[in-house]
Structure 1
């Protein structure tokens, strides 16, 4: 049960919809279906990240990764067994159920690659901030400030009152 109400914020703010929906999702209880498959998020560099999902039993053909705007969706679905294949499973401890896991990405975060290795799906991400938005240092000069150009008066201005 969520202990705070965001509805007053929805009414009085503009442009923060994504932030409030993330807060709503964070406050919602996590059910067993959303906890599968387990995952890790690790920082591999200053602007590099790796998302690792435990997808034992899934092959490359069973998985799909889609990056759209500020979201990353990873889906897994195994093909149903054919009727000709008979198998007596005495105990099934490895989950093979279909899943869909969604992640919200920050601005300027891009997926650079993915690989499946030993039952782990590794998705590499990098944050590339555009040059115009990167912080820059402004040198502090000594001496007189640079002259400010005064606006030029045009001859077409209204005549002066005498």
Structure 2
């Protein structure tokens, strides 16, 4: 099975060979819970997201990726942060691609649908805010979520 391996500030990490603009979305419901997925490629928890396709706007990609991975339709309500640290690279074992981190993290509100697993998510569920950081996740995802949860009014730029 193809895997995703995240490296951060690791001298043994492979050199990046691509840069792919992507989005992640912190989606909340009326109770304030966060929509979380357990990824099939590394078994870590994350907010939904993925690459922006040619011909798509940033919000369109965010809505599409969220729906594909979770079964939940959302609307985009804001920007939580930008993440482009070259010390974070992601190896995709299926083809040897090594991406430098490049992610825009948006904020969204659920409109309809029920959490439903997909090819990319083995589990999808609403998680209360106070329980989110207890889930197993990659360091960069934890940083993104903690920034959102901090309630800082200005987006993270990094």
TM-score range, shorter chain: under 0.3
Relative contact order (alpha carbons < 8 A, sep ≥ 6): 1 or 2 greater? Answer: 2
When Rg is computed on C-alpha atoms for both structures, the one with the higher figure is 1
The structure in which a higher percent of residues are strand is 2
What is the TM-score normalised by the length of structure 2? 0.23
TM-score normalised according to structure 1 size: 0.22
